[in-house]
Amino acid sequence: MSLKKEIGRRRTFAIISHPDAGKTTLTEKLLLYGGAIQIAGAVKSNKIKKTATSDWMEIERQRGISVATSVMGFEYNDLMINILDTPGHQDFAEDTFRTLTAVDSVIVVIDVAKGVEPQTEKLVKVCRMRKTPIIVFINKLDRPGKDAFDLLDEIEKKLELKVTPLSWPINMGQYFKGVYNIFERSLYLFEPNKQRVEEGVAFSDLANPELKQYIGNDAETLREELHLAQGVYPDFRVEQYLSGEICPVFFGSALNNFGVKELLDCFIQIAPTPIGRETEERHIDPQEEPLSGFVFKIHANMDPNHRDRIAFMRVVSGRFERNKPYHHVRLNRKLKFSNPTAFMAQKKSIVDEAFPGDIVGLYDAGNFKIGDTMTEGEILHFKGIPSFSPEQFRYVENADPLKSKQLAKGLEQLTDEGVAQLFTGRATGRKIVGTVGALQFEVIQYRLLHEYGASCRYEPITLYKTAWITSDNKAMLDDFKLRKASYLAYDKEKRDVFLADSPYALQTAQEKYPDIRFHFTSEF
Ligand code: G4P
């Protein structure tokens, strides 16, 4: 099959939500449609439960599961669909941000009763910045929840998205009758716990009195609400969805397998095929023959006898082939892979080739960092895989003087994996670990000990935020560095970082030094 055809049959996306909205359940139902799994309950939740913070083995076990479920591929109607899983736990938000760089679209799941929750807001903000096409699935209609208009209003306000409903709920909770599918102009009737594929009843004229036979007294309400909705929301236009201007919304119940097939059928019609990516050098089109790809996730092998890791590479252009030497741009070295892995449902299998939109798992003994680029020789650096300014900080100290080398190596590699960020104080030389969540400190300590034989202890540091600093005004930058010497650090790439110990310190620095730019993501 030609490269163009292979690209045309791929859809790569992520499902994002606040924990408990139903991401795992929806993923599972999609896999059932794809025939990738046979029974419900087969997809293990990738949730790291809040209660697990003190249970190391539980974290490790769950991390193991998350490798298996990191990418789930399945075929549906001759298409190759790749779902990239994202950890629900907010302490792993940065992992999720990076995964979003590797997808072409997302489905956002919202709980009808809870509405827009904080984690959803954060993740959608990242999608908005990148203009990623978004479909919204409002879940759990079998339970009482918010009124559809109020909810759409909340989505528009809190998520700053323009929406257009493609289905409309008919009542909810114990009175839930189903949805009217605006996209297909058909009626889907709800029966709880139905695991078979539901068929819609074509119903293009809602004024038809027969509507009452299907949904009783809700018929009039449906007519009124749809009439109102048509006045309020714009017509769906696929170009506007693809450019990230408007989000189609579906209603359903993942647990009851209701509304999922319609979502999938609409998704495969409208969702983007693999799109190109920007590099510092130029735009890369997926149809270019030479291979290019970037690493967006690295996962340590759970088996202590095998120290290797899996680097997840998104293929951006060309055809990836097993055993063919590729150019590792940062190391300026050729590498070839004898057992690259593809992920079909929960199974890993060796692949001979992969195409744009695919994720390949590359076994790695320490050659890869997040953001690394592979090509056929061209020097390219993909953009858009930033690190974010961490939110929690601790000094990390060596607790076993005989193992300082192991500690240095462990910290280096774990931070390459993106578990945390590492800064070094300019004045003190002390190492500072920055993370987006408290759980990471525990994960690092545990993994240093179990994977590298190194012990560390943490000491508190009063730190509000770190900001990368740059300026065209050299005199001002030098003055700043001199005066703030004890608040300066450098990151792993030796770039200058300002350590602000309070919001006030950051604000006064920004006011006093107007020519200095303070960056809160590593890409500037
Ligand atoms: P997450 O991955 O987004 O965190 O959510 P997950 O799918 O695990 O769903 C969270 C809970 O919500 C689960 O219940 C799940 O069964 C339930 N759920 C998902 N979709 C629906 C729906 O359409 N209707 C209703 N009523 N419930 C739904 P749980 O009791 O927390 O877990 P479990 O023991 O059922 O796995």
Which residue did the predictor score with more confidence, 494 or 522? 494
* 380 within a domain of the structure (yes/no): no
Contact 283, 312 (CB under 8 A): no
Q: How far apart are CA 395 and CA 423, in angstroms?
A: 9
For the Cβ of 99 lying below 6 angstroms from any atom of ligand 1, the answer is no
CA angle 339, 345, 348 (to 5 degrees): 15
For the Cβ of 24 lying below 6 angstroms from any atom of ligand 1, the answer is yes
Say yes or no to pLDDT of 470 above 70. Answer: yes
Asked if residue 154 and residue 17 are part of one domain, the reply reads: yes
Q: How far apart are CA 122 and CA 249, in angstroms?
A: 19
Nearest residue (CA) to ligand 1, atom 25? 140
CA angle 337, 341, 345 (to 5 degrees): 175
Asked if residue 281 and residue 265 are part of one domain, the reply reads: no
* 238 within a domain of the structure (yes/no): yes
Q: How far apart are the CA of 185 and the centre of ligand 1, in A? A: 29
Q: Are strands 162-165 and 246-251 parallel, antiparallel or unpaired?
A: parallel
Average pLDDT for 109-113: 97
Least confident of 168-172, 209-213, 384-388: 384-388
* 62 within a domain of the structure (yes/no): yes
Asked if residue 304 and residue 266 are part of one domain, the reply reads: no
Say yes or no to pLDDT of 54 above 50. Answer: no
Say yes or no to pLDDT of 88 above 80. Answer: no
Say yes or no to pLDDT of 442 above 90. Answer: no
Q: Which of 20, 31, 174 to mutate to test the pocket of ligand 1 (most atoms within 8 A of CB)?
A: 20
In degrees to the nearest 10, what's the CA dihedral of 45, 47, 53, 57?
Answer: 30
Beta-sheet strands, E only, within 28-104 = 71-76, 79-84
Phi/psi of residue 363, nearest 5 degrees:
-70, 140
Contact 209, 203 (CB under 8 A): no
Domain containing 465 equals 392-519
* 386 within a domain of the structure (yes/no): no
Q: How far apart are the CA of 77 and the centre of ligand 1, in A? A: 27
Q: Which of 15, 18, 24, 25 to mutate to test the pocket of ligand 1 (most atoms within 8 A of CB)?
A: 25
Q: What is the CATH number of the domain that holds 409?
A: 3.30.70.3280
For the Cβ of 47 lying below 6 angstroms from any atom of ligand 1, the answer is yes
DSSP 187: E
The count of domains in the chain is 3
Ligand 1 atom with minimal separation from the 47 CA: 4
Ligand 1 atom with minimal separation from the 28 CA: 7
- Distant-in-sequence, close-in-space partners of 401: CB < 8 Å, separation ≥ 6: none
Asked if residue 303 and residue 432 are part of one domain, the reply reads: no
Asked if residue 180 and residue 52 are part of one domain, the reply reads: yes
Q: pLDDT-based confidence at 365, cuts 50/70/90?
A: confident
Q: What is the CATH number of the domain that holds 46?
A: 3.40.50.300
> Of the residues 375, 402, 419, which one is the last residue of a structural domain?
375
Q: How far apart are CA 149 and CA 159, in angstroms?
A: 15
* 405 within a domain of the structure (yes/no): yes
For the Cβ of 139 lying below 6 angstroms from any atom of ligand 1, the answer is yes
Asked if residue 135 and residue 117 are part of one domain, the reply reads: yes
Asked if residue 451 and residue 401 are part of one domain, the reply reads: yes
Asked if residue 154 and residue 69 are part of one domain, the reply reads: yes
Asked if residue 404 and residue 330 are part of one domain, the reply reads: no
Contact 134, 164 (CB under 8 A): no
Q: pLDDT-based confidence at 56, cuts 50/70/90?
A: very low
Phi/psi of residue 381, nearest 5 degrees:
-130, 110
Q: What confidence score (pLDDT) does residue 206 get? A: 84
- Tell me the one-letter amino acid at 38: Q
* 385 within a domain of the structure (yes/no): no
Asked if residue 492 and residue 443 are part of one domain, the reply reads: yes
Q: How far apart are the CA of 41 and the centre of ligand 1, in A? A: 11
> Of the residues 219, 236, 270, which one is the last residue of a structural domain?
270
* 381 within a domain of the structure (yes/no): no
Contact 267, 135 (CB under 8 A): yes
Q: How far apart are CA 99 and CA 296, in angstroms?
A: 6
Q: How far apart are the CA of 122 and the centre of ligand 1, in A? A: 21
Burial readout 218-249 (b: 16 or more C-beta within 10 A, e: otherwise): bbeebeebeeebeeebeebeeebbbebebbbb
Taken in order 287, 288, 290, 294, the sign of the CA dihedral is negative
Say yes or no to pLDDT of 194 above 80. Answer: no
Nearest residue (CA) to ligand 1, atom 4? 20
DSSP secondary structure, 472-496, as one string: S-HHHHHHHHHHTGGGEEE-TT--E
Q: What confidence score (pLDDT) does residue 385 get? A: 72
Taken in order 499, 501, 507, 512, the sign of the CA dihedral is negative
Query: Per residue in 316-341, pLDDT tens?
Result: 999 999 999 999 999 999 999 998 98
* 384 within a domain of the structure (yes/no): no
**Six token digits for residue 177:** 């009758």
DSSP 51: G
Asked if residue 153 and residue 117 are part of one domain, the reply reads: yes
Predicted structure pTM score: 0.84
For the Cβ of 23 lying below 6 angstroms from any atom of ligand 1, the answer is yes
CA angle 89, 94, 99 (to 5 degrees): 95
Asked if residue 169 and residue 32 are part of one domain, the reply reads: yes
Q: How far apart are the CA of 111 and the centre of ligand 1, in A? A: 10
Query: Per residue in 234-282, pLDDT tens?
Result: 999 999 999 999 999 999 999 998 999 889 999 999 999 999 999 999 9
> Of the residues 350, 375, 400, which one is the last residue of a structural domain?
375
Contact 389, 97 (CB under 8 A): no
